[in-house]
Amino acid sequence: MGPTNENHLSWDLALLYAGLDDPRWAADLERARERGKSFHHDFRGRARSENLSAELLAAALRSYEALQKTGLKPYLYAQLLFAGDSSPDAHKALLARAREAWSALAEETLFFELELLAIDEERMAVLLRDPEVAPYAHYLQQLRVHAPYTLSEEVEQALKRKDLSGKEAFVQLFEELTSSLTFTFRLPAEEAPREMTGEELLALLYHPDAEVREGAFSTFLKLYADNALVLTSCFNNLLLDHAKEVELRRYPDLMTPTHLANETDAAMVERLMEVTESNYGLAREYFDLKRRLLKLPLMKNTDLYAPLGTESRYYPFAEARETVLAAFRGFSPQMAKTAEAFFSERRLDVLPRPGKSGGAFCQGMLPGLPPYVLLNYTGTLRDVATLAHELGHGVHFALSQGQNLFHYQAPLPFAETASVFGEMLLTRYLLDREVDRQAKIALLCSKLEDIIATTFRQNVLTRFELAAHRRRAEGLLAPDHLCALWWEENGKLFGNAVEMIEPYRWGWSYISHFIHARFYCYSYVFGELLVLALYQKYKEEGSGFVPKYLELLSRGGSRKPADLLAPLGIDLADPNFWQKGYDFVGGLLRELRELVEGEGEMSERS
Ligand SMILES: [Zn+2]
């Protein structure tokens, strides 16, 4: 590979601006500022007025969209430049300038959404029927979804101020305490114990030695147990704070605020969780197969992520690209063509380098501006999957380019649909072509472990969180109460297939989702299962499914999830739909079991 080749692996931002000194960059920011000023001048106070016409509202919405697009382009450019290389001062300065301009613009136009919130329900219903306003309907409805539970401005302000020393103080305390913890642990290859961070200890759950895995996780959990007083206090207060908030705002249920944000509803989510629980047996079946692969007499919960000892090979990037594109092509040539454009237009930054941002992402940009992808490709199978994941996002954004800015991004529960679907296409493609039995087993195990972590485990977390909230309503929780609730919910999943190590009683105490957001975890179950069920539908319907799926992606976030899925004949309230996702998991398990048992025969014969 010569330097020219290397060069083609970095992205080309000239599609946006010629470079750092392109005068169009500053000119765009200035234009956005002017548009913000005239928007303020033209519309301030007018949405609130009694005689707001549909014509005026439509004009305001269009200007609001246009000025945001004008301001976003230079901002996104500065972000990409910085992500590609954060070291030059000029990149930092450009990003800071864009950020300041954007926040000034947001301040100038903040009144608009507040005024939209204040329009009463009946009036809004009339306005939404207007053909000029209707294209913005979903945005307006979603913006106003919390309105019935919003208190007077004075009360809202007071609550916000008191949150600083209330809810936010406990979040802060949790963060400060847990990030200050250092652990002492001795690795078998080393003479003396050494200090480690929590992250480093948890990474040892992937260590080949069972004793190291158990020792590391026990060390981790024991230090959390030592801090039970503070951790339990954080949980108790955040649980109580949420109960008070639900009471003050008169939400019908503890989970309502989350459902509103996710555009889901209580009945649908309850169905989803029940179907998940009725399939816990699939997880136990997997754990047992894994136990056999690891040749362990007994599976502990510290063995769940134990490596199988099959090293994955190196994938040159050219091969990764061809593999992912071929997997996409097998599903839909249009999908492959859309993904190919990332390479031909150089909207992909591939290799790690100093100063470049870590991880991987797809920056969706805006309607009218094609998306970009950043990777840190090192040639592992995981990296190939990441390419499929980010290109899945990329295809989603490319297909929804016809939506307005507010409907461009997929709604929250759909945020990972196209990406995980892309990974699924890749897994299937690889499984169908892989001839090495060990490699096939490794592929299936890693897919199944991903699925178990995002469905069954997140369901356990949600059930625990619900139980803790309910139990808190009866009074202050002691650490033992939380431990018992956690043990009980996990026991339902693991059954007799997995023995939980004793310190795992404290497993609840380090999960920051419980601290940062209420009931966040079921969104993972929803998102993952949606993809699995869609994939199962594809298996059943074949090519007839493809145009419907692409149409779904092209609708971006223009409707509620349930409405987006209706044209595919999917009813989210129907438990049979969710069961499809687990039928697909059952299929993967059967495939794995045949390989594992076939292997047994092989070794007996040889
Ligand atoms: Zn993603």
> Along the chain (606 residues), what's the average pLDDT of each consecutive run of 10 residues?
56 95 97 97 86 93 97 97 94 95 91 90 93 96 90 87 91 92 93 92 94 97 98 98 96 95 91 96 97 96 91 89 98 98 97 91 96 95 94 97 95 88 96 92 94 96 97 97 98 97 98 92 91 94 97 95 92 91 96 86 44
Q: What is the predicted pLDDT for the residue at 593?
A: 97
- Mean per-residue pLDDT over the chain, rounded: 93
DSSP assigned state of 300: B
CB 360, CB 390: distance < 8 Å: yes
Spatial separation of the C-alpha atoms in residues 474 and 489, rounded to whole Å: 19
Cα(461) to ligand 1 centroid in Å equals: 21
Backbone angles phi, psi at 536, to 5 degrees: -65, -40
Angle at the Cα of 458 (from 207 to 385), degrees rounded to 5?
A: 60
Cα(237) to ligand 1 centroid in Å equals: 32
Query: What Å distances lie between residue 7 and 3, 349, 370, 376, CA to CA?
Result: 6, 10, 20, 15
Q: What is the predicted pLDDT for the residue at 3?
A: 38
Ligand 1 (single-atom ion) residues, CB below 5 Å: 419
First CA to last CA across the chain, in angstroms? 43
Cα(416) to ligand 1 centroid in Å equals: 5
Cα(523) to ligand 1 centroid in Å equals: 14
When computed from its CA atoms, the radius of gyration of the chain, rounded to whole angstroms, is: 26
Give the relative orientation of helices 280-294 and 479-494 as an angle to the nearest 10 degrees: 80
Cα(70) to ligand 1 centroid in Å equals: 26
Cα(419) to ligand 1 centroid in Å equals: 6
Angle at the Cα of 35 (from 30 to 37), degrees rounded to 5?
A: 95
Cα(378) to ligand 1 centroid in Å equals: 19
Question: In the block, which residue shows the tokens 């969706």?
Answer: 364
Spatial separation of the C-alpha atoms in residues 357 and 2, rounded to whole Å: 24
Q: What is the predicted pLDDT for the residue at 98?
A: 95
Give the relative orientation of helices 89-118 and 23-43 as an angle to the nearest 10 degrees: 20
Could you read off the pLDDT of 57-69 as tens digits, one per residue?
999 999 999 999 9
Beta strands 194-196; 183-185: pairing state: antiparallel
Spatial separation of the C-alpha atoms in residues 509 and 485, rounded to whole Å: 12
Question: In the block, which residue shows the tokens 């897994």?
Answer: 427
Cα(421) to ligand 1 centroid in Å equals: 11
Could you read off the pLDDT of 99-157 as tens digits, one per residue?
999 999 998 998 999 899 889 889 999 999 999 999 999 999 999 998 889 888 889 88
Beta strands 361-363; 372-374: pairing state: antiparallel
Contact partners, residue 237, CB within 8 Å, separation at least 6 = 166, 167, 170
SS (H, E, C) 351-411: CCCCCCCCCCEEECCECCECCEEECCCCCCHHHHHHHHHHHHHHHHHHHHHHCCHHHCCCC
Could you read off the pLDDT of 32-51 as tens digits, one per residue?
999 999 999 999 988 877 77
Q: Please name the amino acid found at residue 24.
A: R
CB 349, CB 361: distance < 8 Å: no
Structure tokens at 284: 């136990």
Q: H or E element: which one contains 343?
A: helix 333-344
DSSP assigned state of 194: E
Q: What is the predicted pLDDT for the residue at 7?
A: 54
Q: What is the predicted pLDDT for the residue at 598?
A: 82
Could you read off the pLDDT of 472-494 as tens digits, one per residue?
999 999 999 999 999 999 999 99
Spatial separation of the C-alpha atoms in residues 201 and 217, rounded to whole Å: 7
Cα(392) to ligand 1 centroid in Å equals: 8
Cα(221) to ligand 1 centroid in Å equals: 29
